[in-house]
């Protein structure tokens, strides 16, 4: 009986760690896994359209859903939507707005709009985007 209680306690603690909110002040390190172009508002989790020339970013599901105040039933109400983050690649830092969940992203990886990728002076060949290491942090 003691073993069952201990196992249940460990499992509950493990689940609490997995559901822990994302630290707002921490610096995150990941890579750009994809570059996207224009998106209609109904194509993003936040309901924010991305037009030609807009700078935008998508974050992983773990970051998006782990953000304080996130509601999986209504992703457009996530407080992360529309929030700016600072992304740094090499010596270049840019400010970019969160608009979506990146299905290809794991952990702190991100996807960026083509316009923002150009701001970061990414590789000349956009297909190489998955090799671009970045750090990022919340602006607030």
Give the pLDDT confidence score for residue 2 in this predicted structure.
Answer: 40
Q: Tell me which of 75-79, 113-117, 122-126 is least confident.
A: 122-126
Q: How far is CA 18 from CA 13, 103, 106, 116, 130, in A?
A: 9, 19, 14, 31, 26
The mean predicted confidence, pLDDT, of the chain is 80
pTM: 0.77
HSE of 55, CA atoms in CB hemisphere, 13 A: 15
């Amino acid at each position: 009986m003691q073993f069952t209680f201990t196992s249940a306690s460990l499992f509950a603690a493990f689940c609490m760690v997995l559901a822990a909110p994302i630290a707002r002040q921490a610096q995150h390190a990941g890579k750009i896994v994809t570059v996207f172009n224009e998106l209609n508002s109904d194509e993003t989790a936040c309901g924010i359209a991305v037009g030609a020339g807009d700078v935008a970013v998508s974050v992983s599901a773990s970051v998006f859903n782990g953000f304080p105040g996130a509601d999986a039933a209504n992703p457009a109400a996530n407080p992360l939507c529309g929030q700016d983050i600072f992304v740094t690649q090499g010596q270049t830092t840019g400010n970019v707005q969160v608009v979506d969940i990146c299905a290809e992203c794991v952990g702190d990886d991100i996807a960026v709009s083509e316009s923002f990728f150009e701001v970061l002076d990414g590789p000349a060949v956009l297909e190489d985007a998955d090799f671009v290491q970045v750090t990022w942090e919340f602006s607030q």
